[in-house]
Amino acid sequence: MSISGPQENSEWRYAEIDIPVQVAKRDFDIIFEVTRGKSWKGDVAIDDLMLVFGEGYTSYGEEGTRKPYIESGGGFWIHFPKSYLPGNNDVKLFNMTRLECLQACVQYAEFYCKSADYVEETSECMLSNSNHNDPDAPFAPQYHPLIDYYERIDDPTISTIAPTTIVNTPAFDDGPDMTFQKITILATVTDTSIGRPAHNMTMSIYYNHQMSGWTPIHTSLTDRMGKAGMMLDRDAVRYGAYKAQLHSASYFAKLGGKKSGFPFIEITWEISSDLQPLFYFPVLMNHYSYTVYTSDMVDLMDEAQTMFSL
């Protein structure tokens, strides 16, 4: 077990524990008993730490550990002093107190406000429909001496874990290693009208964000073998619906002005666990029809790894 973090007690400290590779991250809970000083700046001691494998709980809370929350302005917040979220200022308000800024975020009707930056010196308030956990947010909160960043959270006083009996199950079994460090999304496109791979065809990949709908996360061109795709680190994967969009009309327009009967080929799927390492979609198409096959064959992983290492 290792622990890291700044030495001053005003910042959160994190513990890392080795997890058996046979175990997917949603197959266990971490339970720990904590004793700390009288104030938040007091020392913290973790007395007992236990891994519980199996379905000991009927539901799971949010993964990870976070800093203490505050309640203000009608909402709950994680406060990041001297920090801001770059590039996500959707609404700017002026002549606001700190309390009024947080109230404005809670009450804002045009979109669901997820975070706020407050500048004490100029009384500016910047509301955002994003936070640093969103897939389209390129940065974590950055340091700024004059700005405080507030990230809105759900009511933490409402428990999402049902009080049921904890069931301990063995950490290891004789089954194969079924967790993977990366998840690969790969399409191979063959143009049957010319009898060879579709080269230089645009493929866009989207994630279905619960607040903003389909959000683009990657765009690439098929190579000379008709392949395009992306790799996601396991820690960066967000469970939910994904969509690959192949730009068929623009592709055929470049081939002597052929007119396609469909502007796009869309493939939708869901990522719900770490147990499937590859989402592979072979596509056969011409300008008036197409066929999509699906496969998650592990023996294609070496080919996918080679493609993305070029």
Give the model confidence (pLDDT) of 263-280 as tens digits: 899 998 888 765 566 788
Q: Is the pLDDT of residue 64 over 60?
A: no
Sign of CA dihedral 184, 205, 154, 70: positive
pLDDT given at position 296: 45
Q: Which helix (H) or strand (E) holds 256?
A: none
Compute the distance between CA of residue 235 and CA of residue 273 in angstroms, rounded to an integer. 12
Fold type of domain 62-159: Hepatocyte Growth Factor (3.50.4)
pLDDT given at position 135: 64
Structure tokens at 275: 């147990």
Asked if residues 244 and 255 have their Cβ atoms less than 8 Å apart, the reply is no
Q: Is the pLDDT of residue 106 over 50?
A: yes
Mean pLDDT, range 158-177, rounded to an integer: 41
Fold type of domain 182-309: Immunoglobulin-like (2.60.40)
| More confident call, 160 vs 192 | 192
**What is the pLDDT confidence band of residue 207, given thresholds at 50, 70 and 90?**
confident
Nearest to 27 by CA among 156, 167, 155, 147: 167
Where along the chain do the CATH 2.60.40.180 domains lie? 182-309
Q: Which helix (H) or strand (E) holds 2?
A: strand 2-4
Q: Express as a percent the part of the chain with pLDDT over 90.
A: 18
**pTM exceeding the 0.75 threshold for the entire prediction:** no
